[in-house]
Structure formats: C-alpha cells, structure tokens
Structure 1
Amino acid sequence: MSFCEVNFDGLVGPTHNYAGLSFGNVASQTNANKVANPKQAALQGLEKMWQLAQLGLPQGVLAPNARPDLATLRALGFSGSDTQVINHAVKTAPQWLKACYSASSMWAANAATVSPSCDTQDGKLHITPANLTNKLHRAIEAKTTAKILAAVFNHEDYFVHHPPLPQHPVFGDEGAANYTRLADSYGHAGLALFVYGEDVNSAVKPTCFPARQTRQASEAIARSHGLAPAQTLFIQQNPAVIDQGVFHNDVIAIGNENVFLFHEQAFYQQPQVIEQIRAHYQGARPLHLIEVASAAVSIADAVKSYLFNSQLVSLPSGGMAIIAPSECQIVDGVEQYLSALCKASNPINEVIYLDLKQSMQNGGGPACLRLRVVMSDQELAAVNPRCMLDASLYQQLVAWVTRHYRDRLSEADLADPSLLQESQTALDELSQILALGSVYPFQQV
C-alpha cells in the first residue's frame, strides 16, 4: 500500500474583500478597507493549484462557504426579506455584515485537522472541522465546512468525520495551521506535533494578541482521532511571537516528512522542544531540524514575507521544494536565505515563487490556502473524483470564475443586495461542477 500527500486548496469565494476582521493578523489589519479583486484572487489560487498538479502532486479543491451568511444575520435580529436584512445590517451594524460577508473559508489550513490512517488506532483517516471560535467571521464557517468535507471525503469505509469541538474559548481550535506531522515517509506512522498558543491552566500566554489554539482543543482532537500518546507531542508557541503577529504556527514553522523548518523564536522553551522532537521521532531516514536564526530572518520579516507560510512538498522526481509567495523575493534577506537553504545539506533543493497577492494582503500565504491530507491509494480513489484537479476541471473552474466574479469589491459594495444573488448563483453552479449536493443553506434539499 502506497501513500501520498494531497493538497486540498480552498477556492476563493466571490465576496473576497479586505475588511480587516482578523485582530492579531498584521496583514489583515494593515490592508483593511482596500479595494479587493475577487476574480484575480480566485484565479491566483487556481494557478497555484494547477502549478502543483503539473509538478505531479495530487491536488484537490474545496468549495467556499456561502456568503453573506444570512442565517447568522437573522440570528442577530435582522429580519424581513434578504434585501431588507442586508439593508438593515449595513445601516445599524456594519461590522456584523462584514463578518457575514467574509470569504475567509478560502484558507483551508484552518478547515480541519486530519490524521492519516497510518497514525490512528482504527486504521481510518479522521477529520475534525475547526470550530474557529476566536473570530466571529470564522466561527460561522464550521457547519458548512463540515458538510463540504463530508461531500469530498464521502466513503465511510475509509473516512471518519467528527463534529467540531464545542464553541467555547477553552476549546479554541484553528485546524491544521497548528498541526505538523513528521515521518520518514508519508505511509509510515508519524510524530504528530500539535502546537498551541495557550493552556487555560497556565499563566504563560500572549498579552497583546489572542492565542487562537488551546492545548485543551489539541488534546481533545488527538484523543478522538485515536493517536498513540507516545507519538503525539503538545508544544506551546512562543507567546512573544504571537504578540508580533504570528497568529498561527504555520506563520513561524513548517514540516514535511523528515524535515522541520522553524524560526529560533518559534516555541516556548525551544531547546527542550527540540530535544522532545528528536527523542520521539522514529524513522529510518534522518530527521532534519532546520532552525532559522533571527540574525538571518527577523520575526518582522518572517511575518512580512510569510516565509514559513510557504508549502514544503516532496517532489515525485526526488527532493523537496518550497512553494513560496513572491513577497519572499522582495523582503530583505529572505530570498538569500532560501537560496542558501537549497544549497545546504538537506532534502530541500528548489524554491518556486508564486503570485498570491490578493490572499497575502488579507493575511494568508500558500500554506494557508491548503489542507494537507496524507492518503493511501485506496483512500484517494474513494475521494469524490469531481473534487480532484485535472486539466479539464482547472479550465472549467477558470471559466466559472471569469463568468461569475467581480474584479472590484470595496466595503461599500457589501451593501449591494445583488452581490448576494451573484454569490448564490455562482456557488449553486459550483456545487454541481464539484458534485457536492446541497451543501449550501440557500439550496433546496
């Protein structure tokens, strides 16, 4: 039985805009109220998917949530027709309207935590959608995201779907953005690294920005997925870097198979963390722990460039490649560091730069846009085939975006009721393209 890693990227939704909703995410807040280009954002995301597919890497597609979220607006007391709900909200509570219009489900690294079958007690692949309880615009995603994941991974012989954790701060869960798996190959039992920002029983926590992942949430997921305690580590983020804009672990560290790339300030009590990882890793291939010094890349430059929010992938031709945002080429020292890294003694031998400006300006790089899923050949064959990218689906989705998406969207445009109809029409067609069934609230069951 052979295994591979599949990237399931989130399609950027038709209402992509810059509302500055994510406190603690420097890019999101810095670019608040700029004019967005949803069409360009979606095409940039599709281009990334297609480039990885052309490298020979299996590539899947995750549909976006429906926006605006009228059910949430109605639950907040806005009533009448859909148009009346939007008109009332924009006049009296525009902050809630912006939250309900957010296209943040595009960042599929936060969609769920996935444990591969080679790590779990029952030998099945386990999926827990993230509750994203820290931010309203993200917390409202969990229900629809769970339906979309169930429509993609739709074979009960292979996939176990868990409900999101309770919507309570103690169990704040931000998904795979805080989860890394190290193994000497994809199909061998791996070491699960759950990185959390806060343990509710500890006083060690950030003071400026919120810690979005709790240890309690990570422990609950590890239990429900049936992970072996000996092969599971719970590691705390450095609170000082959370306060500098490192809101998820994937902004400061990234791992793939037997390589773990991380900043020297990434973790609380980092020397002990490194020793723990070395002691628990099992595998024939040596573990490469690559610590990036602050003298080479500062925290500020790591956040600005999203160096660590790159994708680290194993190439079919051998070795590994970093899929990096083009911002890494313009931030002082980052491109030089990556060039030197590829020449050093480790499996990384190539950097591929991509233009993801629309996503980057909202605070999400290449790694944010994808959910990583390690799968056997049989499991991959059991995935909804309409959600796996090939040349035909790529062309079909490019045409779909071109037909339905606006090329300009400002905060003022959220008051336009026609945007609701445009979004629903587009997503109804998308659900047919991807054979998702009735995953959206506005569709007839």
Structure 2
Amino acid sequence: MKQFEANFDGLVGPTHNYAGLSYGNVASLNNASASSSPKQAAKQGLKKMKALADLGMVQGVLAPQERPDIASLRRLGFSGTDANVLAMAAKQAPAIFQACCSASSMWTANAATVSPSADTSDGKIHFTPANLTNKYHRSLEPQVTGKILQATFANKEYFAHHAHLPDNEHFGDEGAANHTRLCSDYGKTGLEMFVYGRHAFDTSKPAPKKFPARQTLEASQAVARLHGLKDDNVVYVQQNPDLIDQGVFHNDVIAVGNQNVLFYHEQAFYQSSQAIAEIKQKFVGDDLHLICVKTEEVSVQDAIKSYLFNTQIITLANGDMAIIAPTDCKENSAVSTYLTNLVAQNTPIKHVYYHDVKESMRNGGGPACLRLRVAMTNKEHAAVNQSTLINDNQFERLNTWVDNHYRDTLHVKDLCDPQLLIESRTALDELTQLLSLGSVYPFQQ
C-alpha cells in the first residue's frame, strides 16, 4: 500500500517569548529576555507550512499549549483569581513563573515519537507523547499534547495513542528529535533509529559531563515496545557525549534522515563506525545513502549556529529530495558553500529551499524542530481530522486568526499582564473551533 510522509507543524502560540529556559541549548540561552514578536513568529511558521503544501506535501498544523499555565501555577500553591496567581508567581517565584510561560511547545519534534503502520505489529500508526522530564517548562506539555494528538488523529481504526512514559529522569524521552526512520520507501517496513544520550540504569557507561543527556536508552526501548516494533527493525545509537557538552542537546541538531538518506556530522555518534555498521546491516534495501559531513567542511559550532542538521529533508513528487533550511544556513559561509556543493553531488538531495524562521531560531529551534513527521497511507490521511490540514482556505483563516489575536511585540515583563492571559485564552478557544479539536485546554473544561 502506497505511503507518503506528512508534516504536522506546531503553531507558535500568542505568548511566544524568549525566557532562556533551556540549559544546554546555546541559542535559547543567548537570547534570554529579548523582546519577541508572537505575530511574526506565527506567520513565519505558517508561511513555511504553506510553502511545503505548495510543493505537494501533505502539511498539517498542531495547536499550541495554553501559556501562562495557570493550572500548573495553582498546583504549586499560588491561589486566588487568575490575576492574583500571575502577580504572586511573578513576584515570589519568577523562575517558576517564566517556566510556566514557556513557548516551547511550538517545537513539535519534541511532541511525540511516531511509528507508521508499516512498522508496527498491529498495522496502526502509533503515537507516544514525550515526557520531556529534563526541563520543568517542557514537562508541563505531555498531557495537553496527548489530547491535541488524539483530537488530530482520532480514528481508532487507524491510530493508536499511548500515555507518555513515567515522569522520571530514568525514562527521559524527548520524542522525534531523537528518532529517525530510514526506509527504501515510506510504505515498506523501515528501520527506526532511536538516539539516546545516556544509560539510566548503568552509570558506568559514557555520558556528557557539562550539559544533561535528555534521552535515555531505557526510554527509547520502552517506546519501541509500546509501538510493537521488531528488534530487526530498530537500532539504538548513542549520541556523542562530547557533542552534547558543546550544545548539541538533541540528535536533530547534528543528524537528520529521510527515506534512504542519513545526513549526519562525522562527530554525531559515539563509536560512530559501529553505529553506522549496524544501520547498514539492518537497513532493508541496497540504496542507503550515508551523507557524512566532515569537521573540516563544517565545524560543530557552525552546524549548531546555523542549524544545518535541524533542516527538513523532504521527498518531492518527482522523487527528488529537498532540504528545507533556515536562512541562517545561507548566511553562514561554510554551511552555504557545503549545501551548494551537496546538491551538485550524486545523492538524492537535489534542492535547497531557504525559509526565514528567525523567531524560532532565536529561541533555539530550526525548521525540523517545528514539525512532527507522520508517514501514512491514503486511507490514514482521510482518517485525519481534516480541519488540521493546511490548504489555501485554512492558511488564510489561520493568518487572519493570528492578525486578530497576536501582539506585534512581547516583553518578558508582559507575561504577568492579566489581559494577555485573556487574549491568549480567547485566541485558543477560537483556534480549537477552527481546527475542530473540541476542548483540549484546562480552561475549557
């Protein structure tokens, strides 16, 4: 049965801000407390979604989380009216308050891990929301993420949903940012590649010394079991601990795959030669393309700054592959030169399309962070909530919605403004109707 890959991008929320919450994410820390533009950020994301839809891709949208997260603040003892909760938290516990205002749900590569029906034992597409336990501000997301995914992929005949893994560092799970699927064709059984940073139950194994390893081997193994994946179709690869300490907080900052292409930096993996050998052994087919970027071509720091590997690789209707890159790649001379040379080589990657997603880049995420990949058949596509798919009409509706509800500029100090909360809830309530999601937010219950 023919399959194709759809991309579901996270819609930037109306309280998009830079709080510098992500220790280990260089871009996030460097832009802490800078003024943001929620309207521009949302429109940049929508423009990228529309561009991919215009290229013939199936493109969907996932709703943002409610922020500030009043329910979480109340759990921590802040009480009274919503305005009182905001004021008390901002004054008494500003770090906690900012965490509960995080804009991080826009990066839906961290929303979940997805296994397509071609790989799973029951022939359904499986979703497991990431628990994101390593960062408090992200650990607030899984419950609502699960509801949004269930409302987007609601048909139980085709879609299976799991609860996120236990909220414990032993099972730290960062979702698709540490997961890549390789296959000769989307419809054939693929090789699901889980990349982890450390062993949770064996501290004698290599681990980073400066920055945290957010994904554990045990979490990756648990997701594979939940999704009914066969051992022959799974490979577990450890991320290079030294690179985590240089700011490579997820695998998708240093490697990306699509169909039969794995595009990666030579320093990406621990014991790289063994990892690549296992990938070659388990990959089904003889058309695997391993594109290894050498350090002398692009340094690790240039890769991090430009997000060369946090690009999307997509397969176009004619079979060619294209890289969807942030304009930061074009502005970096080493990376720009590399990409120009790459498309001239004998690989499936024939095009590079640049997109301005600087509002996301400044907060620590590139084009690949913004999307969740879902390989599906035509029947599965028809079973998706059609209101969440991007077409000309829905693109215009969402742009109008952004124009009506988003602020042009937002400062961190604005987050405790009760009026901003009202504006955000009004916007999200309308969005759930535009996307036919039902009541997915705590304030709607």
Give the alignment's TM-score, normalised by structure 2: 0.99
Q: Which position in structure 1 is the counterpart of 2:212?
A: 210
Q: What amino acid sits opposite 1:97 in the alignment? A: F
Deviation at 1:318, TM superposition (A): 2.3
Deviation, 1:411, is 1.1
1:395 corresponds in structure 2 to 396
Matches within 5 A, 1:230-269: 230-269=232-271
Q: Where in structure 2 are the equivalents of 1:219-238 lying within 5 Å?
A: 219-238=221-240
Measure the CA separation in 1 of the matches of 2:97 and 2:409: 18
Aligned to 2:30: 30
Q: Give the match's secondary structure for 1:260.
A: strand
* Residue in structure 2 matched with residue 170 of structure 1 by the alignment: 170
Alpha-carbon shift at residue 417 of structure 1 (Å): 1.0
Tell me what 2:282 maps to: 280
How far residue 63 of structure 1 moved from its aligned partner, in angstroms, is: 0.2
Amino acid across the alignment from 1:337: Y
Give secondary structure in 2 for the equivalent of 1:442: helix
1:16-415 superposed matches below 5 A: 16-200=16-200, 201=202, 202-283=204-285, 286-415=287-416
Shift of 1:228: 0.6
Choose 411-420 or 163-172, whichever is displaced more: 411-420
Within 2, Cα distance between the matches of 1:6 and 1:291?
26
Residue deviations 1:94-141 (CA, integer Å, cap 9, x gap):
111111111111000000000000001111111000000010110000
Q: Deviations over 1:18-46 (max 9, x none)?
A: 00000000000000010000000000000
Aligned mates of 2:313, 2:368 — CA distance in 1: 9
Shift of 1:283: 1.8
**1:212 corresponds to which letter in structure 2?**
R
Percent identity over the alignment is 59
Query: More deviation in 328-337 or 162-171?
Result: 328-337
Q: Which amino acid aligns with 2:264?
A: F
Q: Matches of 1:332 and 1:217 in 2, distance apart?
A: 38
Name the CA distance, whole Å, in 2 between partners of 1:183 and 1:27. Answer: 32
Q: Deviations over 1:212-240 (max 9, x none)?
A: 10000000000110001011010000000
Task: Give the superposition deviation at 1:203.
Answer: 2.9
Query: Deviation at 1:10?
Result: 0.2
Given residue 270 of structure 1, which amino acid in structure 2 is its aligned partner? S
Shift of 1:56: 0.3
Deviations 1:354-381 (A, max 9, x none): 0000000000000000000000111110
The amino acid that maps onto 1:266 is A
Offset, 1:317: 2.1
- The CA deviation string for residues 45-91 of structure 1, in whole angstroms up to 9 with x for no partner, is 00000000000000001000111111110111100000000000111
CA–CA distance in structure 2, aligned partners of residues 87 and 255 of structure 1:
45
Cα deviation 1:232-253 (Å, max 9, x = unaligned): 0100000000011100000000
Kindly report structure 1 stretches of 4+ aligned residues shifted beyond 2 Å: none
Which residue is equivalent to 1:443? Answer: 444
TM-score normalized with structure 1 length: 0.99
Determine the C-alpha separation between the residues in 1 that align with 2:103 and 2:40. 14
Please give the secondary structure, in 1, of the residue aligned with 2:131. Answer: coil
The count of residues paired between Structure 1 and Structure 2 equals 443
Q: Give the alignment's Cα RMSD to 1 decimal.
A: 0.7
Question: After alignment, is 97-106 or 303-312 more displaced?
Answer: 97-106
Q: 1:2 Cα shift?
A: 1.3
Aligned residue identity for 2:288 = L
C-alpha distance in 2 between matches for 1:343 and 1:199: 40
Which letter maps to 1:22? S
Alpha-carbon distance in 2 for matches of 1:142, 1:123: 24
**CA separation in 2, counterparts of 1:435 and 1:329?**
38
Amino acid in the other structure paired with 1:40: Q
The whole-number CA distance in structure 1 between the counterparts of 2:279 and 2:273 is 10
Q: Distance in 2 between matches of 1:203 and 1:220?
A: 19
List alignment gaps of at least 5 residues for structure 2: none
**In the alignment, residue 260 of structure 2 is paired with which amino acid?**
N
Structure 2 CA distance for aligned equivalents of residues 366 and 76 of structure 1: 34
